């Protein structure tokens, strides 16, 4: 019975995850609320409610069902472990491995799992910010440079653009520092 439940949940997670990712429905969508997610009476996390649909926390669901998780670029791959043994006093502790951006990370418990997921989310936000400002900053800088080259620094638009460029540079610098800090923190997960 458990295998059927695992298959059904994994299939639903993959089906709705692929559907949402393919359509881009979630990009920019507002989270309308959260609902508690319980498995066998135990809380495993919160589901986000977006466009009247509940989105489950994949790691929490997979851990509860005993599934292995492999992050590969933008895909989340779930699989059943090859062999499951009942825990005993002599058994080694269970260590989940996660491959993210071609690096293998080792997750030893739920606290580490939650911390790792939080770091990856923050890293993704920092990288998105870096990409956004790295792509638009050169254009804005050229416009500011043009005002300066034409001695138009008294133009009100120059002041607005110059302030925007300075703000973008500060945000880009902060995002680069955040990325560096998070990458340093993630190194502790590379030890088995």
Residue 148 has pLDDT above 80, yes or no: yes
Residue 89 has pLDDT above 60, yes or no: no
DSSP per-residue codes, 126-170: HHHHHHHHHHHHHHHHHHHHHHHHTT-TTSHHHHHHHHHHHHHHH
Q: What is the pTM of this model?
A: 0.51
Q: Comparing 40 with 184, which gets the higher pLDDT?
A: 184
- Judge whether 122 and 182 are in contact, CB under 8 Å: yes
């Amino acid at each position: 019975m458990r295998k059927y439940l695992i298959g059904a949940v994994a299939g639903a997670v993959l089906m709705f995850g692929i559907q949402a990712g393919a359509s881009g429905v979630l990009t920019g969508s507002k989270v309308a609320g959260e609902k508690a997610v319980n498995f066998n009476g135990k809380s495993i996390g919160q589901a986000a409610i977006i466009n009247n649909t509940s989105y489950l926390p994949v790691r929490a669901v997979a851990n509860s069902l005993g599934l292995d998780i492999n992050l590969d670029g933008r895909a989340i791959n779930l699989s059943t472990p090859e062999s499951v043994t009942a825990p005993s006093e002599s058994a080694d502790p269970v260590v989940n491995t996660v491959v993210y951006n071609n690096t293998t990370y080792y997750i030893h418990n739920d606290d580490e799992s939650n911390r790792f997921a939080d770091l990856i989310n923050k890293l993704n936000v920092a990288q998105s910010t870096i990409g956004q400002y790295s792509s638009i900053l050169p254009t804005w800088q050229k416009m500011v440079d043009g005002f300066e080259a034409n001695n138009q620094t008294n133009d009100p638009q120059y002041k607005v653009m110059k302030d925007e460029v300075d703000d973008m540079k500060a945000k880009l610098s902060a995002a680069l520092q955040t990325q560096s800090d998070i990458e340093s923190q993630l190194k502790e997960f590379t030890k088995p």
